[in-house]
Structure 1
Amino acid sequence: MRERKGRPGPVAVIGLGAMGLPMALALLRGGFVVRGYDLRADARAAFAADGGIVVDSVRTAAAGAAVLMLMVVDAAQAESVLLAEGALESMPADGIVLLTATCPPTAVQAVAGRVLATGRGFVDAPVSGGTAGATAATLTVMAAGAPDDVDSVRPLLETIGKRIFVVGSAPGQGAVVKAVNQLLCGAHIAVAAEGLALARRLGVDGQMILDVMGGSAAASWMLNDRGPRMLQEHPVVSSAVDIFVKDLAIVLQAGRDSRTALPMAALAHQLFLAASGRGIGAEDDSQVIRCLEALNGA
């Protein structure tokens, strides 16, 4: 049993991408000793430029690390890092794996089982808030795991996030909450785009729609955040279309695994998939509106 004894020891961060890099830097600012690794040389260089300790392999990163934080692409990459690349066996016997990436619940359970079988800890803690939240260290964290393990990593979570929720004691429950979050976010973006596309088709100014709806019962956080960008041709990318292609696929997998019908998620996924197929997968997710306009001949 791991006891919480204040700030944990060295932290290894695997994955220094759009989310992982600012999260690792937030830990640095918070006074943690942080070793980072990423496959991309430019990501490693960016981390080193801000004072991070860059290593040459996941094994080296994990050696001696009290916490191994994985902000990787998917569950398959997490499993590869831990098992095929040897990070798990390089960790101390009482180390904790902290998975912050968005993954299917069943996949998280499988990875957690492999980690827990070695006697090490595992906390499933996906995050929400995008690159802006990661940069500002205001992420929402949905943590699940054994209470002692969650307590041990709480100082890290409170450093990278503003809203920390312990959503369960079993790994995979954090992934469930994140899946529900992404279902709602994706559907809200899609339906906001549909509403603005209808207004434009009928000759009503989109900004007028946002002014009226933004303070009415029809308002949502996504309408007020993404709506203005839907009116721009090439807005600054806050979260890419392809993020929702991936995350809504995870939602649908959770539905398949649990035999739960998710018709709204399926439709939203098809719209984001179509946007990606049009070659705009790297553009802001608000640009899913282009698919609706194309569908209507615009």
Structure 2
Amino acid sequence: MGAGMAASLRRAGFALCVHDVRAEVAQAFAQAGGTACASPAALGAQCDVVVSVVVNAQQTEELLFGADGCAGTLRPGSVFVMCSTVDPAWSAALADRLDERGLLYLDAPISGGAARAAQGQITMMTAGSAAAYAKAGAVLDAMAAQVYRLGDAPGAGSKVKIINQLLAGVHIAAAAEAMALGLREGVDPAALYEVITHSAGNSWMFENRMAHVLAGDYTPLSAVDIFVKDLGLVLDMARASKFPLPLSSTAHQMFMQASTAGFAREDDAAVIKIFPGITLPEKKT
């Protein structure tokens, strides 16, 4: 998604600096416009708004506070826009740490996938100070079709994103279970897909992810281990207030099972592979 978001900023005319752990990726991107930076520190020295699109809190910590992190090179008053799915309490604490350095922060998880990111059509669930929005608002609008402003308390955006991931994970798990039952019962999977996608039982996740199953293509657009992490965050948030989440717990166990069975880095639709006694469609050549 980061590449698509950067492309949207480039189309909007922003002077863009990019960094990727794969230097060749950043350099290839910059050939069409922009500057490839060798490290987050080098990028921070040139930017007043930094948009971080990484997997988790640990990677965010590294790009900010690691040996080549950007927190030490960003000028006071610069904005750090955090787009990962993380623990809301961690996000709120990060805002305080950056404030101590004179840096502004936007808690800004994203949703929509790579295709929408490339079109500037993602959804952003954001929270932060008026000063942060004043400086970074145009950047957000260039990347997203919807920028939801959920208050001035960092962590609010992350809470909404985690609830979204609850639904996404449960819907994928339920979609896989339904398709697996159909296969077990000898229903033609293409016919089942056609009927369900035109019936009340359909969901966006069924329509999108079960198309991957029909194609036999588990190239990761969002991997199984992403939902091991995200549903884990869902359960952690609920556990803090002793709030029961029976469906989320079951879905998390399904993704955990798929991960330990060897499908961790496959597309999250590969959760269907945990079901016994079914023959999945083969990849079309």
Please report the TM-score for the alignment, with normalisation by the length of structure 1: 0.86
Question: 1: distance between equivalents of 2:250 and 2:64?
Answer: 35
Structure 1 CA distance for aligned equivalents of residues 240 and 54 of structure 2: 22
In 2, the alpha carbon distance for the partners of 1:238 and 1:87 equals: 28
Matched residue, 1:285: 268
Query: Aligned residue for 1:226?
Result: 209
CA-CA distance at 1:84 after TM superposition: 3.3
What is the CA distance between 1:232 and its match in structure 2?
A: 2.9
Q: Secondary structure at the match of 2:146?
A: strand
RMSD over aligned Cα, in angstroms?
A: 1.9
Cα distance in structure 2, aligned partners of 1:49 and 1:258: 49
Deviation at 1:177, TM superposition (A): 0.7
Identity %: 38
Number of equivalences: 278
Q: Does 1:272 align with 2:255?
A: yes
Q: Which residue of 2 aligns with 1:112?
A: 95
Does 1:97 find its partner at 2:80? yes
CA drift at 1:64: 4.1
Post-superposition CA distance 1:190-246 (Å, at most 9, x none): 001111111221222223322332232212111122222222322554322222222
The superposition leaves residues 261-296 of structure 1 with CA deviations (integer Å, 9 ceiling, x where unpaired) of 22211211221222222222222221211112x2x5
Check conservation: 2:80, 2:105, Cα contact below 8 A: yes
Tell me the residue number matched to 2:136.
153
**Gaps (5+ residues) in structure 1?**
1-18
2:171 to 164, 167, 188: 188
Q: Which residue of 2 aligns with 1:9?
A: none
The answer on 1:48 being equivalent to 2:26 is: no
Secondary structure, aligned partner of 1:88: coil
Q: Residue 179 of structure 1 contacts residue 251 of structure 1 at CA under 8 Å; is this kept in 2?
A: yes
CA distance in 1, matches of 2:206, 2:23: 37
Q: Distance in 2 between matches of 1:246 and 1:274?
A: 13
Pairing 1:58–2:43 present: no
Report the CA distance shift for 1:42/1:177 in structure 2 as closer, same or farther (over 3 A): same
In 1: Cα distance, 2:102 partner to 2:200 partner: 50
Q: 1:154 Cα deviation (Å)?
A: 1.7
| Larger CA deviation: 159-168 vs 206-215 | 206-215
Give how far 1:165 is off.
0.9
**Matched AA of 2:121:** T
**Structure 2 partner of 1:177:** 160
Q: Distance in 1 between matches of 2:123 and 2:112?
A: 6
SS of 1:90 mapped into structure 2: coil
Deviation of residue 37 (structure 1)?
1.5
Q: In the alignment, which of 125, 132, 145 is matched to residue 142 of structure 1?
A: 125
Structure 1 range deviating more: 216-225 or 173-182? 216-225
Work out whether residues 127 and 140 of structure 1, in 8 Å CA contact, stay in contact via their aligned partners in 2. yes
Paired position in structure 2 for 1:8: none
Match among 171, 181, 192 for residue 198 of structure 1? 181
- What is the CA distance between 1:248 and its match in structure 2? 1.6
Judging changes above 3 Å, is the alpha-carbon distance between structure 1 residues 83 and 229 closer, same or farther for their aligned structure 2 residues? closer
Is 1:23 the equivalent of 2:23? no
Quote the residue 1:71 is aligned against. Answer: 53
Secondary structure of the structure 1 residue equivalent to 2:215? coil
State whether residues 23 and 38 of structure 2, in contact with CA within 8 Å, keep that contact through their aligned partners in structure 1: no
**Counterpart amino acid of residue 54 in structure 1:** A
Contact in 2 for aligned 1:132/1:238 (Cα 8 Å): no
Q: Which residue of 1 aligns with 2:222?
A: 239
Does the 8 Å CA contact 1:70/1:100 hold for their aligned counterparts?
yes
Aligned match for 2:243, one of 252, 260, 270: 260
Which stretches of structure 1, 4 residues or longer, exceed 6 Å deviation after superposition?
none
Please tell me the residue identity of whatever aligns with 2:253. Q
Give the distance between the partners of 1:184 and 1:248, measured in 2 at CA. 10
- How far apart, in 1, do the equivalents of 2:58 and 2:262 lie? 25
* Kept in 2: contact 1:182–1:247 (CA 8 A): yes
Corresponding residue SS for 1:247 = helix
Higher deviation after alignment, 188-197 or 64-73: 64-73
Aligned to 1:215: 198
SS of residue matched to 1:217 = coil
Q: Which runs of 5+ in 2 are unaligned?
A: 280-285
